[in-house]
Amino acid sequence: MIETSRPDTRPIVEVRNVSKHFGEGETRVDALRDVSLDVRPGEVIALLGPSGSGKSTLLNVIGCITEPSEGKLTLEGDTVYDGRWLRDDLRKLRLEKIGFIFQSHNLLPFLDATDNVAIALDLAHVPRADARKRAIELLDYLEIGHRKSALPAKLSGGEAQRVAIARALANKPRIILADEPTAALDSKRAGIVMDLLRKLAREQQAAIIAVTHDEKIFDRFDRIYMLRDGRLESESAAVASA
Amino acid sequence: MNLAWRDIRHNLGRFVMTCAGLGLLLAVVMSMIGIYRGIVVDALTIARAPETDIWVVEAKSRGPFAEASRIPGDTRAAIARISGVEAAGALTYQTIEAGVRGRTARLYVIGYKQGAPGGPPVMVEGRHIARSHYELVADRSAGLEIGERIRLGRTTFEVVGLTSQQVNSGGDPAVYITLADAQKLQFDLDPAAARIQLARGGSPASRETVNTVVARLAPFADADTVAASIRQWKHLGAITQTEQEAILSQSLVDRARRQIGMFTGLLLTVSAVIIALIIYTMTMEKIRHIATLKLIGAPDSRIVGMIVQQALALGLIGFALGAALIFNIKDFFPRRVILEADNVLLLGGVVTLVCLLSSALGVRVALKADPATALGG
Ligand SMILES: Nc1ncnc2c1ncn2[C@@H]1O[C@H](COP(=O)(O)OP(=O)(O)OP(=O)(O)O)[C@@H](O)[C@H]1O
Ligand SMILES: [Mg+2]
């Protein structure tokens, strides 16, 4: 294990016995069954599993987008779900604590790269000038500063993905959830993005949970979890060596 | 950061086209309202021109505009003698066809007694009729010019003056001639009717009928009282100016109002449906972006604001374009199109309301959008 994930550090993400089913009776689907998972600051973990095994559902539960059916969810020591949502401002909580990176970059097509990042700060009531300044810093940090005025339609897949990462990082969240962040990228760029996320996790003491199918980047994770039919089955420890 | 504006600016061309399309539609709505107001005002103009208080007509007639009315020419003198009547004028109204520069035009011929109420109102060019025969004052819309000669019946008239916007409820331009000329014209054009009257034992003087006598009252006189006393003559009826305007707007204009009202209602409904569809489509196209915004933590107010602002921008820009268009082309309509500020503002209010209501449809979809759909996978 790398040094930042010492067992004595309190986890930022604590998932306890979470289950989630959709529908009832004949149409009931058990997407998550009794899942428990801890992620500590600085850790980068991967979620693997066949299609329909519940990976996205687990990310959505941690991201407070999908309400679990039972269990308990604690983010940064703050219990947000325990049989019911304990906070009524989930969107504000997402804005402050969680950064999302999507499979498709989901940038807003009518904003340029800078404003696509600045919007996240704008929503957090950061004044416009400061928001743009920080957005440009982030783009520079992700080595995409030269494309700061481009509209998403003019960006390559990898460039757009990095802008999306910049947006996810804008409010300095300590939890970053990524659903197949490298699926749209070639292996070289996928590697670059993953290295970036690792660097981030270390520097910002953030927890990163990524869904991936991409075997080429498995070595970039501290731990790899396997979801099968809603159950978090296997765990392979620290393959990462960086 | 104003998302509504940024999104519009991104698709500016399309947005402007949509506004322009909506503007055309609203211009049609406005022109319908303007045409209707034009008909009402035209109909009332002729009845208001004599600046009279009482219309003396044939007993039981609601004339001279809504129904036929014929009374003896000497009625004027009798009415003028009633106490409280300051001035009385005799008038004839007839619609005739006449050749104007090689084409046939319908003219609304008004015969009036010179020096008495009922003559042409303010002139825009030329002068009033000065001689007792063969002179004519025409409305500008008849297309006649000063000095031009025109044949009505068997008589040739010279145009000496022009008025403006004096047309009857059918849009036919008014033409003023002296009462004597008008009575001769009536006789010339309908000799059969005149002969019957002669055969009934009427003297040639019966040619001297008029359609109405208008009475202008002294300031102290009460119109209803004077009208009541006129009605004591069994063969006469009396209609106050207020009643006359009510008759005109009911009988003559009412059908036009209902017809145009139906059409305007239909157009407004169509516009409302179109606005609703445009806004709904605009929202559906953005639904994934809205889900993204929700996911990264945008509050509902921000999303609702974006949709409502775009809906209002669409409606108000469309309305402004439509209004600009109609104000520029209204004078090219063959009949008067009258755009009154309060009608236009009312329509603006209706458009705003329609935009707000139809954005409710978009807002509903947007609020139901699941942030999870932004994640995909
Ligand atoms: N909103 C929903 N309503 C009903 N069933 C759902 C819903 N979301 C997910 N499911 C079901 O839950 C199960 C888990 O879905 P999930 O999206 O988490 O799978 P996944 O592991 O992300 O799959 P993939 O690799 O294809 O993205 C699937 O059977 C899916 O059909
Ligand atoms: Mg998935």
Q: Which of B252, B282, B314 is the last residue of a domain?
A: B252
For residue A127, say if its preceding peptide bond is cis, omega within 30 degrees of 0. Answer: no
**Rounded distance between C-alpha atoms, residue B82 and residue B55, angstroms:** 14
Q: Which two tokens stand for residue B128?
A: 């009033």
Q: Which atom of ligand 1 is nearest the CA belonging to A66?
A: 1
**Same domain assignment for residues B248 and B368:** no
User: Candidates A57, A67, A103, A213: which one to mutate for ligand 1, based on the most atoms within 8 Å of Cβ?
Assistant: A57
Q: Select from B182, B253, B185 the least CA-distant residue to B212.
A: B182
**Rounded distance between C-alpha atoms, residue B79 and residue B84, angstroms:** 10
What is the CB neighbour count within 10 angstroms for residue B118? 26
Provide DSSP, A137-187. Answer: HHHHHTT-GGGTT--GGGS-HHHHHHHHHHHHHTT--SEEEEESTTTTS-H
The span from the first CA to the last CA of chain A, in angstroms, equals 10
| Buried-state track B198-224, b at ≥16 Cβ within 10 A, e below 16 | eeeeeeeeeeebbbbbbbbbeeebebe
Contact indicator for B377, A101 with CB cutoff of 8 Å? no
**Same domain assignment for residues B262 and B232:** no
**Same domain assignment for residues B209 and B312:** no
Q: Select from B307, B353, B268 the least CA-distant residue to B32.
A: B268
**Same domain assignment for residues B179 and B234:** yes
Among protein residues, the one whose CA lies closest to atom 5 of ligand 1: A22
Q: Which two tokens stand for residue B297?
A: 């933590």
Q: What is the full per-residue pLDDT of chain B (377 aa) written as tens digits?
A: 899 999 999 989 999 999 999 999 999 999 988 888 888 888 888 888 888 888 888 888 887 888 888 888 888 888 888 888 888 888 899 888 888 877 888 889 999 888 888 888 888 888 888 888 888 998 988 888 888 888 888 888 888 989 988 888 788 899 999 888 888 887 777 766 556 655 555 444 446 788 888 888 888 888 888 888 888 888 888 888 888 888 888 876 777 778 888 888 898 888 888 888 888 898 888 888 899 898 888 899 999 999 999 999 999 999 999 999 999 998 888 888 888 888 889 989 999 998 898 888 889 989 988 887 776 64
Q: What is the residue type of B368?
A: K
Q: Cβ separation of B372 and A211 shorter than 8 Å?
A: no
Q: What is the pLDDT of residue A132?
A: 95
Contact indicator for A210, A224 with CB cutoff of 8 Å? no
CATH superfamily of A13-237: P-loop containing nucleotide triphosphate hydrolases (3.40.50.300)
Tokens 């359609």: give the residue.
B211
**Same domain assignment for residues B219 and B285:** no
Provide DSSP, A196-215. Answer: HHHHHHHHHT-EEEEE---G
Sketch the domain layout of chain A as residue ranges: 13-237
Q: Select from A193, A192, A189 the least CA-distant residue to A178.
A: A193
Q: Cβ separation of A123 and B375 shorter than 8 Å?
A: no
Average per-residue pLDDT in chain A?
87
Contact indicator for B355, B311 with CB cutoff of 8 Å? yes
Which residue in B9, B299, B376 is closest to A104 by CB distance?
A: B376
Q: Give the chain B residue nearest A96 (alpha carbons).
A: B297
Domain that holds residue B149: 49-252
Tokens 């810093």: give the residue.
A137
Number of folded domains in chain B?
2
Q: What is the pLDDT of residue B194?
A: 57
pLDDT tens digits for range B275-323: 888 888 988 888 888 998 988 888 999 999 999 999 999 999 999 999 9
Q: Which of B252, B284, B301 is the last residue of a domain?
A: B252
Q: Select from A170, A182, A44 the least CA-distant residue to A116.
A: A170
Please give the distance, rounded to the nearest whole angstrom, from the Cα atom of residue A22 to the centre of ligand 1.
Answer: 9
Collect all residues from B whose CB is shorter than 8 A from any CB in A: 1, 3, 6-7, 9-11, 288-289, 292-299, 302, 370-372, 374-377
Tokens 């325990």: give the residue.
A82
**Rounded distance between C-alpha atoms, residue B98 and residue B149, angstroms:** 12
**Same domain assignment for residues B14 and B57:** no
Least confident of A33-42, A209-218, B213-222, B367-376: B367-376
Q: Are strands A44-48 and A29-39 parallel, antiparallel or unpaired?
A: unpaired
Residue B369, φ and ψ in degrees, nearest 5: -55, 130
Contact indicator for B74, B210 with CB cutoff of 8 Å? no
**Same domain assignment for residues B207 and B129:** yes
**Same domain assignment for residues B119 and B161:** yes
Contact indicator for A168, A160 with CB cutoff of 8 Å? no
Displacement of CA A92 from its chain's centroid (Å): 16
Q: Which two tokens stand for residue A142?
A: 């992700």
**Same domain assignment for residues B86 and B55:** yes
**Rounded distance between C-alpha atoms, residue A193 and residue A191, angstroms:** 5
**Same domain assignment for residues B108 and B239:** yes
Contact indicator for A210, A47 with CB cutoff of 8 Å? yes
Contact indicator for A217, A211 with CB cutoff of 8 Å? no
Q: Which of B191, B223, B252 is the last residue of a domain?
A: B252
**Rounded distance between C-alpha atoms, residue B307 and residue B279, angstroms:** 8
Q: Which atom of ligand 1 is nearest the CA belonging to A32?
A: 14
ipTM of the complex: 0.82
Percent of chain A with pLDDT over 90: 51
**Same domain assignment for residues B33 and B140:** no
**Rounded distance between C-alpha atoms, residue B56 and residue B71, angstroms:** 9
**Same domain assignment for residues B32 and B53:** no
